[in-house]
Structure 1
Amino acid sequence: MNLLLLSNSTQHGRGYLEHALDTVTAFLPSGGRLAFVPYALADHDGYTARVRAALEPAGISVRGVHESADPVDGLAACDAVFIGGGNSFRLLSALYRTGLREAVADAVRGGLPYMGASAGTNMAAPTLRTTNDMPIVCPPSFGTLGLVPFQINPHYLDPDPASTHKGETREERLTEFLEENDVPVLGLREGSWLRVEGGRARVLGARPARLFARGAEPRELPSGTDVSSLLTTVPRFDAPVR
């Protein structure tokens, strides 16, 4: 498979996808047609227009899958797919409703390049269980696309030592997940991404990632770290993924 999984699409002080634009345009087929999946936000037309404005100057034609009478047909007519960020529960519910959950997974396993950002990166994991989102809707299942066999936590945040907030840190929440499930979680900080090409996976971008695994201390993974071993993960969840 050919995957580009971004932690975020917007970065403070920069335009949409600007922080990773060279990587994105090198990843997407030159002069290609990009199927954009906008369902993580309510305004599908506005979201698609934002992606067009960012990518069409680089010669990439962007079409929202919602613009086709059948979103699955819209996917089939394109050379790559991008699932954008927003609310992961709303996004997953729409993927089930439109038939895109199975269609995207099948197409990507067949070689279609897949780019995700934030919620779209969550979709690449086996389940939605390590997202940061509020469940504003109820999808039929937490089962996502399963393009990689481990979990990802986009927008990973380190604890602020100066904060007086007493709520759980991101690290504590992921530790709780690992108490119930035996599957690694890759925390992607803002400005970082995961690149998967065939059997090779690397952490890239401006910041290191953080890897969580049951029974082990969290590990820092500098940009450029090869994490291909994660692709051989056999995930063990508290209940079967449907």
Structure 2
Amino acid sequence: MKHIIIASTSTLHGSSYLEYILNDLEIHFKADKELLFIPYARPGGISHDEYTNKTNDAFAKIGKLVRGIHTFENPIEAIKNAKGIFTGGGNTFVLLNQLYKHHLITPLKNVINSGTPYLGTSAGSNICGLNIKTTNDMPIVYPPSFRALGLVPFNINPHYEDPNPESKHMGETRETRIQEFHHYNTNPVVGLREGSWLMVKEKSIVLKGNLNARIFEFNKEPYEVEPETDLAYLK
């Protein structure tokens, strides 16, 4: 049975790292004293050790110990033996490239589908979708494929932002970019606003948090769904 949290972000404005979701994470990882952390996305170029230490500090508040996958001699075995897994945010292209480099795509998908509790934030959420083509990140490296874990039957767009009518920015809005994606792809896309997450348990995919999500389906007008909506109907 799947136990997955797909969160838009790790940090809300004015709060500390993972603070807004710690109570839910304590329940999500309730049986796990030690978590495997995948720091490959490296936000801002932070080192794997620095990123792991930051994550360890956050999880210590709920009595969890975090160990970075980069410290294991055999990362595939680390995935297979993990009791719980967290993949942090940063650059999705860097993250996916490292997962392919270390041959972790299939092992990671297998253990999560078999019931190992998983948390993804930002880039770690992007890889839960069918592919990473709806990430907001710059393609600073070129992974062998854009295909991701496919843990849910759609794509994710974390940090989804609505158009600001007062903004002087003349570039594309997030909605425009997703519509461009649908000129070449048919995957549904879930726009997750900050502070929202998806709770995946077996066949249900329920929107959590206080905000609506914006749904983009091929050849349909975008629409809003409210918290507690089950998005398993998206294909």
| TM-score (structure 1 length as normaliser) | 0.92
Q: Residue deviations 1:124-152, cap 9 Å, x none?
A: 01111000000111111101111111111
Secondary structure of the corresponding residue to residue 183 of structure 2: helix
Give 1:239's aligned residue: none
Q: CA deviation at 1:213?
A: 0.7
Q: CA deviation at 1:31?
A: 4.2
Q: Residue deviations 1:83-127, cap 9 Å, x none?
A: 100000000000011121111011111111111000000000111
Give 2:26's aligned residue: 25
Contact (CA 8 Å) 2:22, 2:62: kept in 1 or not? no
Give 1:238's aligned residue: none
Give 1:203's aligned residue: 207
Q: CA deviation at 1:57?
A: 2.7
Instruction: Describe how 1:156-195 pairs up with structure 2 within 5 A.
Output: 156-195=160-199
Q: CA deviation at 1:206?
A: 2.4
Instruction: Describe how 1:68-83 pairs up with structure 2 within 5 A.
Output: 68-83=72-87
Aligned partners of 1:88 and 1:165: how far apart in 2?
24
Give 1:15's aligned residue: 16
Give 1:4's aligned residue: 5
Unpaired runs of at least 5, structure 1: 234-242
Q: CA RMSD in A?
A: 1.1
Report the number of matched residues: 231
Give 1:54's aligned residue: 58
Q: Residue deviations 1:175-217, cap 9 Å, x none?
A: 1111211121000000000111011111111211110112221
Instruction: Describe how 1:219-238 pairs up with structure 2 within 5 A.
Output: 219-230=223-234, 233=235
Contact (CA 8 Å) 2:198, 2:208: kept in 1 or not? yes
Aligned partners of 1:28 and 1:12: how far apart in 2?
24
More displaced, 191-200 or 57-66?
57-66
Aligned partners of 2:219 and 2:108: how far apart in 1?
34
Aligned partners of 2:121 and 2:195: how far apart in 1?
11
The correspondence for 1:142, drawn from 135, 146, 160, is 146
Aligned partners of 2:60 and 2:81: how far apart in 1?
17
Aligned partners of 1:77 and 1:38: how far apart in 2?
18
Amino acid of the residue matched to residue 169 of structure 2?
A: H
Whether 2:94 is the aligned partner of 1:90: answer yes
Unpaired runs of at least 5, structure 2: none
Q: Residue deviations 1:133-175, cap 9 Å, x none?
A: 0011111110111111111100001001001211000000101
Whether 2:51 is the aligned partner of 1:36: answer no
Aligned partners of 2:70 and 2:12: how far apart in 1?
26
| TM-score (structure 2 length as normaliser) | 0.95
Whether 2:103 is the aligned partner of 1:99: answer yes
Aligned partners of 1:162 and 1:105: how far apart in 2?
42
Secondary structure of the corresponding residue to residue 19 of structure 1: helix
Secondary structure of the corresponding residue to residue 179 of structure 1: coil
Amino acid of the residue matched to residue 41 of structure 2?
A: A
